[in-house]
Amino acid sequence: MTDAMPSPLTVGQVAEQFAVTVRTLHHYDDLGLLTPSERTRGGYRSYSRADLDRLSTIVVYRRLGFSLEQIAALLAGPDDLIEHLHRQRANVTSQLGQLRALVTAIDNALEAAMSKRPATRAELQELFGDGFDEAHEREAEERWGDTPAWTQTRSRTASYTPADWTAIRAEADAVHAAFVAAYQSGAAADSPAAREAARAHRAHLHERFYDVDAQLHRGLGEMYVADPRFAATYDALAPGLAVYVRDAINAHADHQGE
Amino acid sequence: MTDAMPSPLTVGQVAEQFAVTVRTLHHYDDLGLLTPSERTRGGYRSYSRADLDRLSTIVVYRRLGFSLEQIAALLAGPDDLIEHLHRQRANVTSQLGQLRALVTAIDNALEAAMSKRPATRAELQELFGDGFDEAHEREAEERWGDTPAWTQTRSRTASYTPADWTAIRAEADAVHAAFVAAYQSGAAADSPAAREAARAHRAHLHERFYDVDAQLHRGLGEMYVADPRFAATYDALAPGLAVYVRDAINAHADHQGE
DNA sequence: GCTTGACCCTCACGCCACGTCAGGGGCCAA
DNA sequence: TTGGCCCCTGACGTGGCGTGAGGGTCAAGC
């Protein structure tokens, strides 16, 4: 937690500090993208402070989705970063469009493959597992039965078809996956990736169950940490995830409020 | 344009009919995913009607983003297609979230890298090339000067910064890329991919320049075909694209109207 | 029957950013 | 000196094909 590290570092130390693997550093060395400025007598790579600066630039560019070749060009020439960023944005936006079309296609396939009657309890249970049994539902009723959110939830979910429920389940899984991906990539709880996951989380609840404003969203985040059953659900996906989710929700809300 | 093809087909014929490459068919054969039921004396692959049916299933699954391994499983076992579709949807949705976060990150980088003064004419010209000179602008003024769309465009674009303009350029490029990708993939003008591109096109204009309803959007589509300069711009990206864009816009509008 | 040209065959390497062994050596404390 | 942890350099694997190289096959026209 302190940066009182001696200046020349070994691969392992550098790897840990930048949350990359040793293999990645070897790879960058092979490509000539980041060659440590010294070697020890024994042949160990020895990274200077300047090497670390360069690496941090590389890591940032990588997070922006640049290829290693592009990064090398950016680091070498006085090329225009802004122009590269625009090209990159266009690429990513184009990919976004393709993916959105893909989701539409999948949804169409799903609709074609499924019947449209409202879902039975058995189907719900199969979809959501132990989390969706009668006891769970009765408790929710007792706990929130007189809140507007619960009323809204009851009226909206009553008409959902099996297709809707499986879509909802898929969305929920995707939201969880996004949180886990951000968390395990080492991104901070207020990083774009984490805030994006929080945004998706709120949008999911808002669209499928009940109106969620920033205030209520923060409350949910706190509950995920405070209520051991919610905490256990998240921590089962990745230890420490519940706290991360709460922090990401708060970061998202802060960011929106600006 | 007729399907009066003899039933046993060679790789080249099959490849053309399904818009895949010969190498792809070889690859599927290598994997055992699609082994043609016969060979000629000379060793040529010979695809029967049943082989073609199987291939069409494979192609559809590929468009839905399944891996070849998953497709093999789906074709082999009586596995649940619906479950696979949900998993696939969750994956794609997760990727969507990641990409959205990436766009945010890039935008932040761009904002950090650029100043915020309004853009100069020289900058606009550099960005948009020949399409943005004084003559062009005067003509536009004469042609549309008294329409509400043009008034709105003037008032909104006046405050755009260089960062805004480069983002707009990137978006426009992305929209074009989406049209070209859909067009060249062989997808019909009313396919999800093409309609998604049309949606992005309308959203782009709507957000950046002036309010575009379905009616106005259709009008623009017709103009892209009718006005030779617009048609030339699109056809330069890919011959026949102008007509495709118009048809995609109409398909999108029809779909929305349902 | 022979030539021609379009089509087909089977290897086999290349791509991208590493992951994952395997086999061997260095470093440091007890 | 021993042990345990770290480091080194190859070298192959991943997915879904693209792209040759080097050579055989087929149908049509002469």
Q: B214: buried, middle or exposed (CB in 10 Å: 19+, 13-18, 0-12)?
A: middle
Residue B33 in this model has a pLDDT that exceeds 90: yes
Q: Cβ–Cβ of A82/B110 closer than 8 Å?
A: yes
β-sheet bridge partners, residue B39: B45
Tokens representing A79 are: 């090329």
Say yes or no for a CB contact (<8 Å) between A90 and B170. Answer: yes
Task: Give B143's pLDDT tier (boundaries 50, 70, 90).
Answer: low
Position A146 scores a pLDDT of 64
pTM score of the predicted model: 0.62
DSSP-assigned letter for residue A23: H
Alpha-carbon span A40 to A166, nearest angstrom: 58
Confidence grade of residue B3 (pLDDT, cut at 50, 70, 90): very low
Task: Please tell me the distance from the alpha carbon of residue B158 to that of residue B117, in angstroms, as a whole number.
Answer: 11
* Chain A residues 70-89 with CB within 8 Å of chain B: 81-82, 85-89
> CA Rg, chain A, in Å?
24
The whole-angstrom distance between B84's CA and the closest CA on chain A is 10
* Residues of A in Cβ contact (< 8 Å) with B65: 102, 106
For A175, B174, B192, the CA distances from B178, given in Å and listed in that order, are 26, 6, 11
Tell me whether strands A45-46 and B45-46 are parallel, antiparallel or unpaired.
Answer: unpaired
- Identify each DSSP E strand in chain A by its residue range: 38-39, 45-46
Q: For residue A42, which nucleotide's C1' is closest to its Cα?
A: C26
Q: Is the pLDDT of residue B237 over 70?
A: yes
User: Closest Cα partner for A99 from B192, B167, B202, B206?
Assistant: B192
- On whether any CB of chain A is under 8 Å from the CB of B185, the answer is no
Tokens 């109409």 sit at which residue?
Answer: B250
**Which residue from B81, B90, B104 is facing A113, i.e. has the nearest CB?**
B81
Top mean pLDDT of A216-230, B12-26, B57-71 is at B12-26
**Which of these, A98, A110, A161, lies nearest to B194 by C-alpha position?**
A98
A211: which residues sit within 8 A by CB, 6+ positions away? A149, A152
User: How many other CB atoms are there within 10 angstroms of residue A67's CB atom?
Assistant: 11
pLDDT, residue A120, reads: 59
Query: How much of chain B is in helix, strand and coil states, percent to nearest 5?
Result: 70, 0, 25
Find, among A11, A73, A4, the residue nearest to A38 by Cα. Answer: A11
Residue B227 CB-half CA count within 13 A: 11
What 3-state DSSP class applies to A46?
strand
The amino acid sitting at B169 is: R
Q: Phi/psi of residue B118, each to 5°?
A: -65, 155
What is the pLDDT averaged over residues B124-132? 58
Contact B196, B185 (CB under 8 A): no
Contacts of B103 in chain A (CB under 8 A): 89, 92-93, 96
- Shortest CA–C1' contact from A26: which nucleotide? C18
B82–A89 C-beta distance less than 8 A = no
A183 CB contacts (<8 Å, ≥6 apart)? A194, A238, A240, A241, A244
Give percent of chain A above pLDDT 90. 27
Distance (Å, whole) CA A8 – CA B154: 57
Q: What does the pLDDT look like over A162-220, one tens digit per residue? A: 667 777 777 788 888 888 888 877 778 888 888 888 998 998 888 888 888 888 888 88
Report, as an integer, the average pLDDT of A46-58.
94
Tokens standing for A60? 């940032």
Straight-line distance from CA A65 to C1' D14, in Å? 20
Partners of B175 on chain A (C-beta within 8 Å) are 97
Task: Tell how many helices (H) and how many strands (E) occur in chain A.
Answer: 13, 2
Q: Are strands B38-39 and B45-46 parallel, antiparallel or unpaired?
A: antiparallel
Rounded-to-integer distance, Cα A74 and Cα B34, Å: 44
Give the pLDDT band (50/70/90) at residue B211.
confident
Please answer yes or no on whether B98 and A196 come within 8 Å at the CB atom. yes
The answer to whether residue A57 neighbours chain B at the CB level (below 8 Å) is: no
* pLDDT exceeds cutoff 50 at A3: no
Q: Which amino acid belongs to residue A66?
A: F
Distance separating alpha carbons of residues B225 and B217, to the nearest angstrom: 13
Answer whether residue A45 shows pLDDT above 90.
yes
Question: CB neighbours of B198 closer than 8 A, spacing ≥ 6?
Answer: B217, B245, B248, B249, B251, B252, B253
Taking all residues of chain B, what is their mean pLDDT, rounded to a whole number? 82
What is the predicted pLDDT for the residue at A43?
92
Segment B76-97, tens digit of pLDDT: 877 678 888 888 888 888 888 8
Distance CA B109, CA A60 (A): 10
- Region B122-141: what's the mean pLDDT? 61
Q: Which of B172, B121, B236, B98 is nearest to A86 (CA)?
A: B172
Do B85 and A99 lie within an 8 Å CB cutoff? Answer: no
3-state secondary structure of A45: strand
Instruction: Report d(CA A53, CA A63) in Å as an integer.
Output: 16
**Please, what sign has the CA dihedral across residues A44, A48, A53, A54?**
negative
Span A83-129, pLDDT tens digits: 888 888 888 888 888 888 888 888 888 877 776 556 655 565 555 55
| pLDDT exceeds 60 at position B132 | no
